Each structure stands twice: as C-alpha cells, then as structure tokens.
Amino acid sequence: MASIAILERKCTGCGLCVKNCPFSAMDMADGHPVINAACKVCGICLKNCPEKAIIRLESRSRTVDRSAWKDILVLAEVSGGHLHPVSLELIGKARELAGPLGWKVHALLIGHEVSACAQELLHYGVDRVSIYDHDALSYFRADVYAACMEDEILRSRQSVVLIGATALGRSLAPRVATRFRTGLTADCTRLELRENSDLVQIRPAFGGNIMAQIVTSFSRPQFATVRYQVMNAPERSPETSGTLETHPLPAKARSATTLVSRTPIPPARSICDADILVVGGRGLNRESDLDMIRDLADALHGDWAVSRPLVEKGWASNDRQIGLSGRTVRPRLILTFGVSGAIQFTSCMNASEHIVSVNTDPDAPIFSVAHVAVVADLYEVLPEMIRSIRGGSREEA
C-alpha cells in the first residue's frame, strides 16, 4: 500500500502542495503541510514541490498462507420466514466454483426459529449448514449478525464468502470484511476461482463502461456480494445431504440497539419477479406514451419497466428501473422499446430467456444481446402489437 510522507528538514513551508492538491488533502499547520484522510496518493504534490520534500512510500503486503483457508461460505438469508432466492443462487454458484478445487460449500443461517429453512438448505447440495438460532437474532442488527458470521469464519476459515446484495447483505458484508481487514467487492455479476484459490470478482466499473476484474491476493477470506437474478439456482433434490451444526450466540454478540417497535412493510410486486416485462426507454417522446408500454404489459399478463433516462425525467420511480442503479431482472420474455442498450442496462437483463428489442438505430447496442432485433419506429410497432394481441384475445374468448 502506498502513502505520502513529508520530509520536514527539506520543507520550506511554501504551501504550493496545499494549493495544488486537487483533493484538499493537505493543510498547513505550524508552517508545514500536514496530510489528512482525503489523500488519494495521486502524486501531484510530489511534482509541485520545488524542494523535493515530499516522497512516496511503498509497502508490500504479506502474502497470505492460502493453504490455511479453503471452502466457500454462503450467507443463507431468511426473509419473512423463507429463504431469500438469492441465497439459493449463490449456493449454485458456490458449488460450481468449489468443484475443480475439491472444496466444500458451507451455508450460514442466522435468525430465530429457522430450523425449517436449515432443513430446506440440505436439498440444495450444501455440505454443512451452520446455524445461529436465538431470540436475539429475531430481527436484523448488523453488529450482532456480524459477530455470528465472524465466529463462523474464525472457526472454519473459509476462503470465499458470498453474500446476497440485499439491504441486509449490503449492511452486513462490509462490517465483517472490515473485521478481517480484507477486501470486499460489491454487486458482482460474474465470479471465477483460480487454481491458486484467488477469487476473480467481476463487476461493471466507471459507470458501467468497463468490466473490472478484482482479486484479493494478499488477504483472506475473500468477500463478494452478488445481486439477485444474476446466478443460476441449483435444482432442488428430493433427497437431503450434508449436516446441520448449531452454535451458541457468540459472547461478543452484544448491541446497544434495542427494538422499540416494528411495522412490517406490505409485500409489493417487484419487476424482478416478473415472467414477462415490457420496457420503455429514451425513445419515448412523451410521458403519456408510457401508457402504451403498460397496455402491452397488461395484454401479455406481464409487468412494465423503464431504463434510467425515464427515471431521471421523473416519468417512473426507481423501483421500475432496470440497470446498475435500479433492478436486475431475468424474465422468460423481455420486450424493449426505444432502449439504446448501454452496458449499465444490458448487464442487468442480458440473462433473460428471450429478448425482443425495437429501435430505429440498426447499430444500437441493445441488438448485441437481443434474440430478436426489430429495426423500426416503436410508434409503428407498439400500437400494432397491442391491437394484435388484444384482438387475438377477443377472438379466443
């Protein structure tokens, strides 16, 4: 890890480094510059110091003993008394990654009265389920849950830890990773495991313009969160396999947070669960044109969604958005109208079973993932599709 240091014996206190720092990471104190927490080690101050009083320090991280860490741990999240689907998807991916290295897949279950969920996990090919079942875990408190996960990892020393990128997972994962002083990659879309046990964590970066490959080479365990609907869940086996292990609440699982009251949020329909989706994009001219998107979705007995530009215009809420800053979807059929297909959008829907796209631009990026590409004006195609489907429905009736 690199850092910046100031040689006070050479520094004249001219202040040029403070003036030229683009991150305001230097302050003057007692006539000399002092580096604060905003420093990005960009090196601009080195170039601007006329006295060469600023130096860059490099330190090498110790290489971790990889042989001391093995296997994969999946956090099996419980929501409303049921396993969250993302947990099963992560188990499927964990089994795929663990196979070539001969590793085992462990699941971690934290909650209260979760025995039924633990038994259900044994139908999905996990080798072991570690259970922390206590009334103190009946609702999510990040510090208490983190203590349980830390306890499990310290006991079993898994090399890879996979967590769903849910509200719970996004709160819990960084807390536990910090306790182990290790890396965490959020919102991964692909995962690969090298022969040396390094996990290659792949996710969009720089606004989705590139796909970054991130590796945690010098520490263990390796943490990654993965969005729902990105990985494939394994088939449920009628037979069970693996073992159940129940552990007591760790001594450090204490919290200053106390539950005063709880009001359940009514279950809401999500575009993530739709089998058929009709999507409107930047090509729509007016907000009222979304009515056609909704009409086609209704005719197909599906749901409707939008791309980011329409959310930014205020035409739809974020829970209707497909993309990195919205939702990841995987329907059996998705139809897009006027969607250009930037990677921020396509990376969150390209696993759909059938993709039909309508756009006037023959070079639109959306056509690179579409199974059926229609180069046409959506205002000609969309009304005709609605009439055809509704007409067919009436004839059948």
Q: How many C-beta neighbours within 10 Å does residue 9 have?
A: 7
Average confidence (pLDDT) over 331-339? 97
Asked whether residue 240 carries a pLDDT value surpassing 50, the answer given is yes
Residue 318 has what pLDDT?
A: 93
Structure tokens at 327: 């939702």
Sign of torsion, CA 365 366 370 372? negative
Q: Which residue has better confidence, 255 or 174?
A: 174
Distance CA 16, CA 147 (A): 47
- Identify the CATH number of the domain defined by range 2-58: 3.30.70.20
Q: How many CA atoms lie within 13 A of 146 on its CB side?
A: 16
Residue 267 has what pLDDT?
A: 74
Average confidence (pLDDT) over 57-79? 86
Asked whether residue 396 carries a pLDDT value surpassing 60, the answer given is no
The CATH 3.30.70.20 portion of the chain extends over 2-58
Q: Which CATH superfamily is domain 271-396 in?
A: TPP-binding domain (3.40.50.1220)
Structure tokens at 390: 């509704």
pTM, two decimals, is 0.76
Sign of torsion, CA 128 134 140 142? negative
Residue 30 has what pLDDT?
A: 85
Q: Percent of the chain scored above 90 by pLDDT?
A: 76
What is the architecture, at CATH level 2, of domain 66-246? 3-Layer(aba) Sandwich (3.40)
Q: Which residue has better confidence, 324 or 89?
A: 89
Average confidence (pLDDT) over 115-120? 95
The CATH 3.40.50.1220 portion of the chain extends over 271-396
Distance CA 160, CA 167 (A): 21
Residue 395 has what pLDDT?
A: 47
Asked whether residue 1 carries a pLDDT value surpassing 70, the answer given is no
Check if the beta carbon of residue 185 is closer than 8 Å to that of residue 208.
Answer: no
Average confidence (pLDDT) over 116-128? 96
pLDDT digits (tens, 9 = 90+) for 186-226: 999 899 999 999 999 998 887 667 788 999 988 999 999 99
Asked whether residue 273 carries a pLDDT value surpassing 70, the answer given is yes
Average confidence (pLDDT) over 130-150? 94
| Confidence grade of residue 62 (pLDDT, cut at 50, 70, 90) | low
Residue 397 has what pLDDT?
A: 40
Asked whether residue 394 carries a pLDDT value surpassing 50, the answer given is no
Q: How many CA atoms lie within 13 A of 252 on its CB side?
A: 11
Contact partners, residue 391, CB within 8 Å, separation at least 6:
none
Check if the beta carbon of residue 149 is closer than 8 Å to that of residue 75.
Answer: yes
- Tell me the average pLDDT of the chain: 92
The CATH 3.40.50.620 portion of the chain extends over 66-246
Which of 40, 159, 146 lies closest to 101, judged by CA?
159
